[in-house]
Amino acid sequence: MQTYTANEAKTRFGEFLDRVQREPVRVMRHDRVVGVMVSAQDFEAMCAFYANRLQHTLENSAALAQQGGLTEQALNDLLADES
């Protein structure tokens, strides 16, 4: 993965954007990573991946809760705001 300083990214922005289309690019400031820039296509793919992963986690959690005897009414009672 290529690394640019924040100043290099600013002064060589066109080159920076071209590089991002090929691979993620780390951006450093004061010797620490402050960001990673990726192409729009890679970003969309990451969003889809994590949304799918979250959906599977929620489905698995719901199945385990149901197997453990958690009913919809019991869940509503737990989530009710009784403050």
Q: Which residue has the tokens 């290099």?
A: 8
User: pLDDT tens for residues 17-32?
Assistant: 999 999 999 999 999 9
Global pTM? 0.69
Q: Per residue in 7-18, pLDDT tens?
A: 999 999 999 999
Distance in angstroms (rounded) separating the CA atoms of residues 8 and 70: 55
Task: Grade residue 83 by pLDDT with cuts at 50, 70 and 90.
Answer: low
pLDDT of residue 51: 97
Which run of H or E residues covers position 54? helix 40-67
**Which CATH superfamily includes the segment(s) 2-38?**
YefM-like domain (3.40.1620.10)
Tell me which residue of 4, 3, 5 sits closest to 30, measured CA to CA: 5
Q: What is the mean pLDDT of residues 61-68?
A: 91
Residue 35: beta bridge partners? 27
